[in-house]
Structure 1
Amino acid sequence: MSRNFDEFLTKVTSKVKSKVAHGMIKKELTNHLKELSHAYQKGETTKEEADQKAIQEMGNPYTIGENLNHLHKARMDWSLLALFITIAGISFLPLVGGIPHLSMPGPYFIGRQATWYTLAILVILGFLFFDYRKLKKLCPVFYGVALTLLLYTHFFGLEFNGAQRWIVIGEFIADVTITLFLFFIAWAGIFTKINYYGTWKKQGLLLFLFWIPILIYLALPNYMLSFIYFFTVVAMFVFSGVKKKLAIQISLTNCVVGFIVFIPITYVVTSTPHMYNRLLAFFNPEAYAQTAGYINMLIRDVLLQAGWFGNGLLTGNPLPEGHTDFAFPYLVYSLGWVFGIFLCLLLLLFILRISLNAFKTKDLFGRLLVIGGAALFTVPICWNILMGLGLLPIMGVSLPFISYGGTMLLFYAAVLGLILNVYRRKDIVEPTIETSS
């Protein structure tokens, strides 16, 4: 490249704040300059003169740079951030009256929640200010690490409430939910090349990669993570741009193999007295009033006492885990059905905002990350609320950004950080330059 071209490009990019965009801008402009220079060289013009004319034809480099800076300007989704801040504020409400069954005052948990939210904001910022597209090349690594950690948890994990939940490696301790985050990134990368899985061998590999984590989650047992994983991967597959014929082949193969192999295995894995008791208690809580049905009946009574405007936050928390898994029915009991409806609409708006952002980026990998992120929020939000209304069986699932608990808060913060990262870079596109006439 000539020295004149290099000086011109340096002046252009000096006005572009996005360092990520510099490479593609230089590439695009260099090609355009060479085309103009070759056109001028067809006459009697020397190469140096042709290069100079090409630069003059392009126009003022600083003006071009300012226009490109606007095109490649990093943007923030302030609407989504406003929704997050509102939901974060609501998360402190279940803690105001303290936790009676733990004999802990409200200020203690409010302080801890504030600490966790401080860390959550740092996590969001950490995932916001880097080029998320670099994760794409590491997708096989993410899948391998997630599967290794999941297997390690199954055989050596720390048990909590009857399930292998905590990954303990020396001084390192983490919730098994971290594997869900790694799988989510891995599948976003895998699905960017979904149309390469046209042969039966590759489809078989895809089938294996999809079902194995589900079986291990069920074996822990952690049924909720298996549900979230299933619907997240399916959602990304649907919007992966897969060819219609291949989509039908993969879907039919999954259904057939699922019914023949994996559903029977799943039945054996989940056939435990504890699981049966929960299901029976859901359909007939009165018959299990002294055991598994107690909480179902308690939730029903709490909702009946709520009224339109509730009983107040300082009247006591009648629900065990009213600050975590049952935060929604407790908020309805305390603040009424008006607030409960408002909260449902707020969370729905949060999910819709994320979902709409998925189609504002031209990058397939980024789009799949946002779609997968929307699913990671949608499944637990819907299950937790319907569970809190007595419409679904009780399972261990927190309400994102509202239920008390640091591990899940940091998990959802990381997902939100990635979603905001994709939105921030959605306008970084290959530039199209028009020469001055």
Structure 2
Amino acid sequence: MRQMEENLVVRQFLDRVCKQVRTKQMHLEIREELLGHIEDRVELLMLEGHPEEFAVQEAVKQMGDPGDIGKSLHVAHRPQLDWKLLVMLALFLIIGLVGMVSVYFADERYSVSLVERKLFCFGIGVLFLIGFYFLDYRKLKKYSDPVFFLIVILMVISLVYGQLHDRRTDYINIGPIGVNMITFSLIPLLLALAGMKPASQWGRWEAVLNILYRGVLPVVLYSISSSIIYTYIYVIGFLILTWRTSKSLKQFAMIAALPLVGVAIFLSTQTDHLLLRWREFMNPSAKEMWYMGNNADAIQTAGWFGQGFGQATPRIPYVLYDNVFPYLIYCFGWLFGIVVGVLILLFLVRLWNISTVHKDPYAKHIAAVLIVVFGFRLLWPLLMGLGVLPKVTLEPPFFSYSGVNQILDMAAVGLLLSIYRRKNLVPSEVGEAAPMKVA
């Protein structure tokens, strides 16, 4: 306790202020800030020749009514809901649902059960979003290491024993539900990385083990599944977190080297596949390059306002998954596609804003990796559908059928809402950890 706070008048004033602020974890910071102001005023009054006791009482009086101060501080430090992020998410989900219903009416091959399952996953996703919104995100940090380990084990199991409908796949069956662990693993792995021991605190041998465990092992597992794009996303997320937590550029370069070598080796084994994708990208009109060519034809015939709801898919493959954007543009037009593109950019900017307004480094790391994940998964399919980027197997979140992954994506948004909710509830000390040593 500071000496000034031992004064009864000052202590009573601070108690009355803090009584109005329900966020108890902010009380200490509020007391410290108000004490600083009182001490400054006492010092000025004493320099004017007033005795100390009078100066203290006068300084407290000049601060104003403690009840009013406490109420204003309560407003400043109460939980907040990011309505902008929530509205954009709702628009994404509505667009995705409308697109799926349009496919259902357009193509008799699809049954109503697809719509029902989409709505079921939507309902479960809403529950997870609400749950994570009210959950204090900081409580997840202590589970980062076991979560990372568990996801790695599940990835190994899926690669060795995974199957779906008696076919060898990367799926793990959980009752009647099949979960593709390769696509499912990305968000949990990167969120776990965000809460694990930062690179600036690694010892020499600890650094070697962490590079192999956190950096190389997931790259190997994604490589075995032949998922180039998920390998890219994971490595970029890993490098961003390493950059943010490294104590020097030299350490970052040493940590990044081995995972990047692993990616290079993996790509060297995929030369034929990469060349095929490049030829398709460069010459989509060729007959053998039907995938991107059909997308381009559909978009060209869409016009500004599209062909209308429930139109038959014009040979666009995977309209419920990778190519949901070309189909939506075909049905609703170029103007609609521009609006969706702008909404996606605003969504990512909103995530960036969340990462900048918070004091807690853990919150910043979570927001950073989710910007990477959602940025790739939203922008790449959109630009791929427009013929700007090469074809990859990557479903856009919220818009596509998704299934179980939709639940995970909505839980991730709930986590972002939890972070924003507490942006004024986390004391400054949390965001002011000891500075990193620079080599």
Under a length normalisation based on structure 1, what TM-score does the superposition of the two structures give? 0.79
Partner of 1:207: 211
Contact 2:199–2:207 (CA under 8 A) maintained in structure 1:
no
Distance 1:161 1:412, change over 3 A: farther
Q: Which residue number corresponds to residue 40 of structure 1? A: none
Structure 2: tracts of 5 or more residues without a match: 39-56, 430-439
Which residue identity does 1:410 align to in structure 2? I
Aligned partners of 2:25 and 2:427 also within 8 Å: no
State the shift of 1:379 in Å: 0.8
Supply the distance in 2 between the matched residues of 1:414 and 1:23 (Cα, whole angstroms).
32
Are 2:85 and 1:85 equivalent residues in the alignment?
A: no
Contact 1:68–1:431 (8 Å) recurs in 2: no
Give the drift of 1:378: 0.1
Q: Which residue of 2 aligns with 1:180?
A: 186
The whole-number CA distance in structure 2 between the counterparts of 1:93 and 1:169 is 29
Higher mean C-alpha deviation, range 278-287 or range 221-230: 278-287
* Letter in structure 2 aligned against 1:251: A
Alpha-carbon offset, residue 345 of structure 1: 0.9
Deviation track 1:6-25 (CA, whole Å, cap 9, x = no partner) reads 99988665533335546877
Larger deviation, residues 7-16 vs 65-74 = 7-16
% identical equivalent positions: 28
Aligned counterparts of 1:112 and 1:396: Cα–Cα separation in 2 = 22
Task: Select the residue among 123, 147, 150 that pairs with 1:118.
Answer: 123
Amino acid at match of 1:264: I
Give unmatched runs, 5+ long, in structure 1.
34-51, 433-437
Distance (whole Å) between structure 1 residues aligned to residue 259 and residue 273 of structure 2: 28
The verdict on how the C-alpha distance between 1:13 and 1:298 changes in structure 2, with shifts beyond 3 A counting, is same
Q: Residues 108 and 140 from structure 1, CA distance in 2 versus in 1: closer, same or farther, beyond 3 angstroms?
A: closer
**Contact kept? 1:215, 1:266, Cα under 8 Å:** no
Q: Report if the CA contact (8 A) 1:163-1:221 is conserved.
A: no
Q: Is the 8 A contact 1:25 1:430 kept in 2?
A: no
CA distance in 2, matches of 1:149, 1:252: 29
For 2:222, the equivalent position in structure 1 comes to 217
Matches within 5 A, 1:229-308: 229-238=234-243, 240=244, 242-243=246-247, 246-255=248-257, 258-259=260-261, 263-265=264-266, 267-268=268-269, 270=270, 277-284=276-283, 289=288, 293-308=289-304
Read off the aligned partner of 2:310 and give its amino acid letter.
Answer: L
Deviation at 1:267, TM superposition (A): 3.1
Q: Distance in 2 between matches of 1:253 and 1:418?
A: 28
Residue 352 of structure 1, CA deviation: 0.8
Whether the 8 Å contact between 2:358 and 2:364 is mirrored in structure 1 is: yes
Conserved in 1, the CA contact under 8 Å of 2:78 and 2:425?
A: yes
CA distance in structure 2 between the partners assigned to 1:373 and 1:353 by the alignment: 11
Instruction: Tell me the CA shift for residue 382 of structure 1.
Output: 1.8
Measure the CA separation in 2 of the matches of 1:156 and 1:8: 66
The structural deviation recorded for 1:77 is 0.8
Q: What does the per-residue CA deviation read over 1:249-272, in whole Å, with 9 as the maximum and x for residues that have no partner?
A: 32255236743x65325534x46x
Contact in 2 for aligned 1:77/1:424 (Cα 8 Å): yes
Change (3 A) 1:26 1:139: farther
1:306-325 equivalence runs, <5 A: 306-318=302-314, 319-325=316-322
Q: Which residue of 2 aligns with 1:350?
A: 347
Contact 2:305 2:334 in 1 (8 A): yes
Give secondary structure in 2 for the equivalent of 1:210.
Answer: helix
Q: Residue 407 and residue 317 in structure 1: after superposition, are their counterparts in 2 closer, same or farther (change >3 A)? A: same
Q: Distance in 2 between matches of 1:161 and 1:251?
A: 44
Letter aligned with residue 207 of structure 1:
I
Paired residue type of 1:373: L
| Conserved? CA contact 1:401–1:412, under 8 Å | yes
CA distance in 1, matches of 2:109, 2:119: 20
Determine helix, strand or coil for the equivalent of 2:86: helix
Counterpart residue number, 1:335: 332
Q: Offset of 1:213 from its aligned partner? A: 0.3
Q: Is the 8 A contact 1:94 1:322 kept in 2?
A: no
